[in-house]
């Protein structure tokens, strides 16, 4: 059975991605915004201050090294990034079938807690408030779809952010070689999100890394989120940061990212979920049947061999 398991898992995610063959329009995430993105190379000292409205949009790209469709999403995001309109963050969240080692638990937790994960990759979120599954355009092109998603309002008026990064080599402090101090200050009116909970994060990003085993045909992966570090909920503060090792090379960056999470409303009188609703919220019935057939086939094949 162990020999058949990787094929079975691959087949399962392929079935989960079948719905990506039809155009899925962008939808609101029903959550608060993701914004900021001020950053520095981890080896450099940096102090920055900017209005949030002047910073590029944040594009969270949930992907996998075996996902061929994901390459199309990344190409469209790269085009907008080259125009200076957004900053792309690549999150590897699906099972690591190609043994890249890119999958990180905190990244998966971030995806599940904010956006859920009912389909296979790709999933693209723009500014945390608009999401799109799949790569079939709902307009004239995928680039246009993402551009339209960027037009959704953040509802952050006159918001400003200050960001300072001081690696250990530049500070008079007793820190290790792979550490530094991050400081931040956010001035923003969040009244548009009265139930929102502010979370401050440091995203450690690797500009590029090589992996030739990906079945999606790519050898170089860009803007890869190496890890997510929770800095708490205070709009002003500082913290010591330990920088993880790069997958390869020496091109890590530290990014300051603000997240507003809106808790799910508490349903005091939940309605029982019917069998039909259960089927509609999960895999389509036809897909589930195929998965069951695949499981049976894998078992039979393994026993015969």
Of residues 175 and 143, more confidently modeled? 143
Q: How confident is the model at residue 117 (pLDDT cuts 50, 70, 90)?
A: low
Does the structure show a pLDDT above 80 at 2? no
**78: nearest Cα among 220, 244, 249:** 220
Does the structure show a pLDDT above 50 at 259? yes
Q: Give the residue-averaged pLDDT of 168-195.
A: 90
Residue ranges of domains in the chain: 24-261
The CA distance from 291 to 133, in Å, is: 21
Sheet-wide strand order for 130-133: 27-28, 130-133, 123-126, 57-63, 86-92, 220-232, 197-210, 252-261, 34-41
Answer yes or no: are the C-beta atoms of 39 and 256 closer than 8 Å: yes
Q: Which two tokens stand for residue 251?
A: 């091109």
Residue 183: predicted pLDDT: 98
pTM (2 decimals)?
0.81
pLDDT digits 0-9 by tens, 73-115:
999 999 999 999 999 999 988 776 778 888 888 877 888 888 8
Residue 13: predicted pLDDT: 47
pLDDT digits 0-9 by tens, 162-175:
999 999 988 777 77
DSSP three-state, residue 144: helix
The CA distance from 135 to 140, in Å, is: 12
Answer yes or no: are the C-beta atoms of 15 and 291 closer than 8 Å: yes
């Amino acid at each position: 059975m162990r020999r058949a398991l990787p094929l079975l898992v691959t087949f399962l995610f392929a079935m989960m991605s079948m719905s990506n063959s039809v155009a899925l329009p962008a939808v609101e995430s029903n959550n608060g915004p993701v914004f900021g993105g001020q950053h520095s190379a981890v080896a450099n000292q940096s102090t920055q201050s900017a209005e949030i409205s002047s910073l590029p949009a944040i594009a969270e790209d949930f992907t996998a090294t075996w996902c061929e469709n994901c390459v199309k999403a990344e190409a469209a995001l790269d085009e907008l990034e080259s125009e200076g309109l957004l900053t792309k963050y690549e999150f590897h969240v699906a099972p690591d079938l190609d043994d890249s080692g890119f999958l990180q638990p905190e990244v998966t937790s971030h995806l599940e807690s904010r956006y859920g994960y009912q389909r296979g990759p790709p999933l693209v979120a723009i500014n945390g408030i608009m999401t799109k599954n799949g790569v079939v355009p709902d307009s004239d092109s995928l680039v246009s779809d993402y551009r339209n998603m960027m037009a959704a309002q953040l509802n952050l008026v006159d918001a400003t952010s200050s960001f300072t990064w001081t690696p250990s080599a530049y500070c008079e402090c007793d820190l290790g070689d792979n550490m530094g101090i991050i400081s931040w200050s956010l001035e923003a009116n969040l009244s548009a999100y009265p139930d929102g909970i502010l979370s401050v994060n440091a995203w450690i990003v690797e500009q590029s890394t090589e992996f030739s085993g990906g079945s999606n045909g790519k050898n170089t992966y860009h803007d890869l989120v190496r890890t997510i570090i929770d800095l708490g909920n205070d709009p002003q503060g500082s913290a010591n940061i330990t920088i993880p090792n790069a997958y390869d090379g020496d091109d890590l960056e530290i990014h300051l990212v603000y997240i507003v999470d809106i808790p799910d409303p508490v349903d005091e009188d939940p309605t029982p979920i019917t069998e039909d609703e259960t089927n509609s919220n999960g895999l389509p019935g036809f897909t589930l049947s195929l998965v069951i057939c695949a499981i049976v086939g894998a078992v039979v094949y393994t026993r015969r061999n």
